[in-house]
Chains A and B, each alone.
Chain A
Amino acid sequence: MTETSATTVHDNRNGRPPINELELHTETVETIDPVTFEVIKNNLWNINIEHGTTLIRTSGSLIVAHGRDLNPCILTEDVEYVFAGPYVQIITSAADLATRWVMENLAGNPGIREGDMFLTNDPWIGATHQMDVTLICPVFVDGKVFCWTVNTMHQNDVGGVTPGGMSPEARDSFHEPVRISPVRIVEQGRLREDLEEMYLRQSRLPGMLGLDLRAAVSGNLVAQKRILELVDRYGAAVVKGVMRRVIDHAEKTFVNRLLKLPDGTWRARGYLEQALPGDRGIYPLVLTMRKSGSNLVFETEGTHDQVGCLNSSFAGWRAGVINAVTNALLHDLQCALGGPLRRIDFNAPTGSLCTAEFPGAVANSTNFVIMLTVSLAAQVLGKMMISDESQRASICASGGSSNAPISGMSGINQRGEPWGGLHMEIPAGALGGFALNDGIPTGGTLWSYGTRMPDAETEEQDRPILFLYRNELEDSGGAGRWARGVGPVAAQVTHGADEIRHDVSACGFAAPTSGGLFGGYPGAANLIVEKRNSNVRDLFANGVIPDSLESLDGDLTTVQPKMNNLRQGPTDVHEFRLSAGGGYGDPLLREPQRVQEDVELGYVSREAAAEMYGVVLDNDNKVERAKTDARRLQMRTERIGRPPPRAIEESDGYRVSEYLILKPDAEVQGTDKDDAKMHCRMCDSVICGITENYKDAAVYCRLPISAAGSLMNDPGLYIDAGIELRQFVCPGCGTLLETEIACEFDTVLRDIELLSL
């Protein structure tokens, strides 16, 4: 693997050569019958699951126990992933980097021995951000390292100026939780109390941190014990042979899938906003993926330089990419990341938002750069995979919670104890539209498989809050041929405490982060907003529960995405909305019957049915066919500024996007694929040549972002630049080929650039 960014990895060797005192158990049986292989493979998978279950059942925090913000993995002795767990993917995708650092730097001093475990949270070594604390356990056989079990859990508080660690005003990493380079916190089976004390001493919630440290130790102990039982039973060389073959198999499968796809370059762009409180800037994050044969390279060219509190270290950004690759290409391979990673390179010069140099502020990386990268990577992967029918089903528009708006809450709870935590609706994001199906309202996120939102009662038990409502938000899902990425909305008042402190660290208020795909619209933007000095307590006294901010009197108050020390008092209602899921495909091609269902199910309003989908419903919410047809034709006409010269009639061909197919050029009469032209799949109009940019040939409309849906926010409240919804439309039939969310000053993004077929 080429990792340009490796130069920024913290190195304490002072130029000394790597210490090779660590003996590795490398013996491998190559020939294992398929049955034994399958049996041991299942055993290893189940061991890793048991590791995860142990963490969940013993953890002290809602973030781990409900948020499932954890992940264990098994690594070979030479640090390749065998299995990661089906929990939060991004969190485990840096475990290999951290483990390699331990191997290369600590083998001589203090040494790596049986029964040791190493703790780290250093983003320049191998953590997504400082709250994701990793515990690394070498598993020894015959005095040599046979493999590693590693777990990572998001911790509620490991220190730093802001409770929870994600500070909106961190100018550099010294404002953030302390970075702990790997320390040998468990020595030959004994937890070192001095190091534990040093670690817990950083935290506002040392009890919880101590409990989770024990959870992490027990998880590793369970996994280690089970692996050694397997070794006893089958022999180390056989178990290792299975590990290697799991990796080889995943690599081969990955390669086979890539070989079915065309070579080329795909790009996606998203935005982060407000580098620090008071800033009104917006900063692009561009992800480029180049595919050549059976290899992928991910690049950051075009991404803004590191700035304010918005950044990620290389380890975090890379984890976001790996997460999206797992969803798209490895979903049926049990998170066996090791093989595919042999085929993925990262070309990412340091100093960008995605590859910040020390000591850039990086504690916000997961909710900013990494989540956005998961969505952007899903888009580029989807655009590459569209040509192969067998891989199409897993293509999706951005999922919800594509940027988690963090409002770190803290204060004294109803029992007089200090408390801290985040809005826990984040896991109940939404899955946006898929290539062959609708997404899932409040169905989760693309960056975690098992994360759950805790019950309101669970939260109210330990937090001084009272929820007013927590529901699915109508019209929040991005419109599309496939849609329903409906996200949640929640509001709370204080309860049992005079005030709650909020440290807001968010993006995606001005520029929505959940992009649509192939003409789909973005999901609703993030939003935190307050009704201050409201009449909520009077309503309570009168037997009324307000179920929206509109039903309250008071001062509607904009909350900026970066805002430290916002104080919520007893009459202030705090509402929280999550970036919802994007749509897939042109909304005007959504079956009217489905739109009717959307309305019946409370996911889409009648107004949006007409505005976004061109579907006209009668008073009983039934589709009016003729009016719908007429309205859709009118909308197509508006898109291209004239009545569409061609009718919608699907044709077939080699797909290079949802609506673009390649066909041999009729005039040249050649069969050479380079002569092929891109045609509109919906009307067969010729759009452009294969190597040309279809966006240059499409009808280009620039609309204010408000055109993307009623739940977009006014960018002027947050940033200086304008945000646009750009449409690229087929001049023949008016089909929306692609949408783009862009800052008004940015050029059109070349998203598809084919090299060969």
Chain B
Amino acid sequence: MAIELGVDIGGTFTDVVASDGHDGMWSAKVPTTPANLIDCFLDGIDAVLSEAASAGHADLAIDRIVHGTTIATNLVVQRAGAPVALLTTRGFRDTIHIMQGRGYIAGLPEDQITNIHLLKKPAPLVSKQMTGEIDERIDCTGAVIVKLNEGRAREVIRRLSSAGASSFAICLLWSFVNETHERRLREIVEEECPGAYISISCEIAPRKGEYARTVATVINSYVGPTVRDYFTRLEQEAASKYRSSVSVLQSTGGSVSTEEAGLNPVRLLGSGPVAGTMASAALADNVIAIDMGGTTFDVSLIVEGSPLRTNTSVIHQYEYSVPTIEIQSIGSGGGSIVWVDELGTSLRVGPRSAGAEPGPACYGRGGTQPTITDCNVVTGFLDPLHFLGGRMKLEPELARVALERKVASRLNMSVVEAARGAIRIVDSQMADLVRQVTIGRGYDPREFTVCAYGGAGPLHAPAFARELGVSRVVVPRGSLAAVWSAYGAATADLSVVVERSLIRDLPMPAGELETELHALEEQATVRLVAFGAAASSVTLQRFADLKYGMQAHVLEVPLESDLDAGAMGRVLLSFDKIYEQIFGIGTAYREAGVQLTAVRVQAVAPGTTTGNISRPPARGDTGPEPSHNPMREVCWDAARGFEETPVIPGRGLVAEQQVGGPAIVELGVTTIPVHPGQSLEVTSSGDLHIHV
């Protein structure tokens, strides 16, 4: 039988999901081996194969392996990339250091940016000495103002090469309008430094704005050599051991060949959480996907089956222009510290986090600051004996002491009141973020289903969903919730996003736009076919970035296929409509004209030979044994104090079973509180629906 594998290497654990496309699905969790990631990749696959074998399936042939990896992200965060040299237009050596002035606040919460004395620019990705300035100039129309001075360019490249550069990033002004200088420069680098890793910005991020384009290109070359070598070795191992090829999940939510991923590693940044979003897209048409772990709360949105995308992302305060699934984060996690302000009158939560070390007080690792996890322990939401499926024992007394000393005594509250209060505050912070992500873009959260996963997602989702007016929370059934990202990888389609900067006033001749889009579609299709997709299975979607004349920010709108003059008119109308949906009736200002700034094509093909993996029906689940204590004291409401509450092990749940709140459902690595007035229902596929 042929199976497909999803392998997700996280910071601590490597998750693997195997599916035969029908009823057979197995999963495994093995420790991540940071020193050599290939070890845990292989360990995980072996583990899942032996899991399948013990279930009577020893004759499995691996059809494909889809890999979700944080290797690129880690290389940036740990500043462990290759010694990279940047070649840029003379006069713009410092673009990436200036960071648009205050651009370094990117990704920081707004209430922190007023602490100007506490902020810093991140460590540079490339030094000024390793930046070569090239005499050449192109203008905004693509006209060559100064020809590429090849002689001087060669000297610059030799200097950088002798200074140790093994990887080059090339980002020239306006290269996305006229690519010739970047392409020629790449040839010269190839001649001067054979074997060097080279990225050019017109391929990596062909969009206006030299800062974010430079960052994208530099990151690409910074992580490229290591990532490429890793994938090469991975392919060799997979081929020799399993006779399978590997594809890689990108942050666009689709998978590509390892070769493509090695050329474009900047598109791997942030792909970890994206896998969870993609998995959630299968659950409902409109989904608010919620991932909450120890330090962050991530939200992404799926509208009518498609995850919302963004064209600019942030890593380590650097903005880079690469299309990705949009994931918004706040620093609210289990580790968020609960504290009292200096007046001693306000209860506050975060943004500081106790992280993993020392972690929450109840971890018993020396942490004295109370955290949200401590609050969940003292209120009875978390069972100290079964945290993370029993992988870790918590010490509730330490949680109580920390809350008493740092919070409750100062506010004249009981420990439980303080803990309930902190949980309410963090729930409200999450609801606020979800509100911004939905209402702020013209969507009504009440029309969405919340899909919650990650260690703490299901713990908080039933409460904040109620605050948002969401009627249903879905938690993927136990064994899957624990390996949700690996599942997302296994089910990922092949997909590429190609784009081109094109600046035109609308309406423009439909023919010209059609020609541009058609070229992008061909380019995208060719690439998908190269990854193994059948040309007939490729579906294409077109988008354009539009703005009212003179506006600086753009809005992405979908375009019809086969554009004609009538379609151009409809594009304008639909832009007005989308704009007013987000910014309010009467705010569209057609008098200012409408300008197109970029066009984009997403090509998608099923990654599997069997079509989409169907989700198999429920089987035995993980989680504590049914013999686990059937009742415990939980504080649902500070005013009512502790109430004896049934505890239901996920393992014991069967399809179509109903659980009325208040109740606690214990899954393998997480816990679902079913609040009073809510009810939980097990669907036929084994997912857990909480009716809020």
Contacts and interface: CB of A to CB of B under 8 A. Distances in A.
A609 to B, nearest CB: 16
B164 interface: no
B553 A56 contact: yes
Nearest to B150: A543
B98 A457 contact: no
A253 B101 contact: no
Interface string B145-163: 1111100100000000000
Given A65-B551, A428-B101, A460-B139, 7 more contacts: A65-B553, A331-B116, A429-B101, A452-B101, A471-B92, A544-B135, A602-B128
Contacts of B98: 428, 442, 453, 470-472, 488
B345 A34 contact: yes
Given A65-B551, A458-B209, A443 B102 contact: yes
A470 B89 CA distance: 11
B493 interface: no
5 contacts: A46-B432, A211-B589, A431-B116, A466-B137, A470-B94
A33 B420 CA distance: 12
Given A218-B587, A331-B117, A208 B91 contact: no
A217 B137 CA distance: 42
A450 B137 contact: no
A644 to B, nearest CB: 32
Interface string A405-443: 000000000100000000000011101001001001111
A477 to B, nearest CB: 14
A589 to B, nearest CB: 20
Interface string A563-585: 00000000000000000000000
Contacts of A468: 91
Nearest to A496: B139
Interface of B: 89-95, 97-105, 110-111, 113-121, 127-129, 133, 135-137, 139-140, 145-149, 152, 173-174, 208-211, 341-343, 345-349, 411, 413, 420-422, 424-425, 428-429, 432, 435-436, 440, 503, 548-553, 583-584, 586-589, 591-593
Given A396-B117, A450-B102, A457-B173, A540 B91 contact: no
Interface of A: 33-35, 37-39, 41-43, 45-46, 49-50, 53-54, 56-62, 64-66, 85-86, 191, 207-208, 210-211, 214-215, 217-218, 221-222, 249, 252-253, 256, 326-327, 330-332, 334-335, 393-394, 396, 414, 427-429, 431, 434, 437, 440-444, 446, 448-458, 460-462, 466-472, 488, 495-496, 540, 543-545, 547, 600-602
A417 to B, nearest CB: 10
B440 A50 contact: yes
B436 A62 contact: no
A326 B114 contact: yes
B91 A471 contact: yes
B549 A207 contact: yes
A324 B421 CA distance: 35
B211 A455 contact: yes
A410 B94 CA distance: 27
Contacts of B592: 60, 207-208, 210-211
A332 B118 CA distance: 11
A208 B127 CA distance: 39
B102 A449 contact: yes
A564 B102 CA distance: 31
Contact of B343 (A58, A256, A451, A461): A256
A456 B584 contact: no
A722 B34 CA distance: 64
Contacts, number: 265
A724 B113 CA distance: 36
A85 B111 CA distance: 9
Contacts of B208: 455, 457-458, 461
Contacts of A455: 100, 208-211
| Among B95, B145, B420: residue with most chain A CB under 10 A | B145
A38 B346 contact: yes
Q: Which 10 residue pairs spanning A and B have beta carbons closest together? A: A469-B91, A428-B101, A65-B552, A35-B421, A543-B149, A444-B102, A545-B90, A60-B550, A218-B584, A452-B100
Contacts of A461: 140, 208, 503
Contacts of B102: 427-428, 443-444, 448-452
B552 A543 contact: no
Nearest to B145: A540
A39 B549 CA distance: 39
A466 B97 CA distance: 21
A545 B133 CA distance: 10
B116 A471 contact: no
B421 A444 contact: no
A42 B429 CA distance: 7
Contact of A249 (B93, B120, B149, B343): B343
A249 B591 CA distance: 46
Contacts of B118: 393
Contacts of B210: 455-457
| Among B127, B349, B420, B432: residue with most chain A CB under 10 A | B432
A327 B342 CA distance: 18
B114 A43 contact: no
A106 B591 CA distance: 32
B532 to A, nearest CB: 37
A446 B101 CA distance: 12
Contacts of B152: 543
Contact of B583 (A57, A431, A451): A57
A155 to B, nearest CB: 12
A544 B551 CA distance: 34
A456 B92 CA distance: 9
Given A37-B346, A46-B432, A62 B139 contact: no
| Among B148, B152, B440: residue with most chain A CB under 10 A | B440
| Among B98, B133, B436, B591: residue with most chain A CB under 10 A | B98
B551 A58 contact: yes
A207 B114 contact: no
Contacts of B92: 456, 467, 469-471
A396 B553 CA distance: 34
Contacts of B93: 471
B174 A39 contact: no
Contacts of B100: 66, 427-428, 452-455
A440 B173 contact: no
A50 B139 CA distance: 36
Nearest to B91: A469
Contacts of A42: 425, 428-429, 432
Contacts of B440: 50, 53
Contacts of B137: 466, 540, 545
A468 B136 CA distance: 11
A600 B130 CA distance: 12
Contact of B587 (A215, A431, A443): A215
Nearest to A459: B140
Contacts of B146: 540, 543-545
Contacts of A327: 114, 116
A59 B225 CA distance: 41
A249 B90 CA distance: 52
A86 B113 contact: yes
A401 B119 CA distance: 18
A211 B550 contact: yes
A88 B552 CA distance: 18
Contacts of A41: 346
Given A455-B208, A457-B208, A443 B101 contact: yes
A210 B589 contact: yes
B90 A60 contact: no
B133 A547 contact: yes
Nearest to A427: B101
Contacts of B115: 331-332, 394
A341 to B, nearest CB: 16
A622 to B, nearest CB: 15
Contacts of B135: 543-545
A207 B110 contact: no
Contacts of A207: 549-550, 589, 591-593
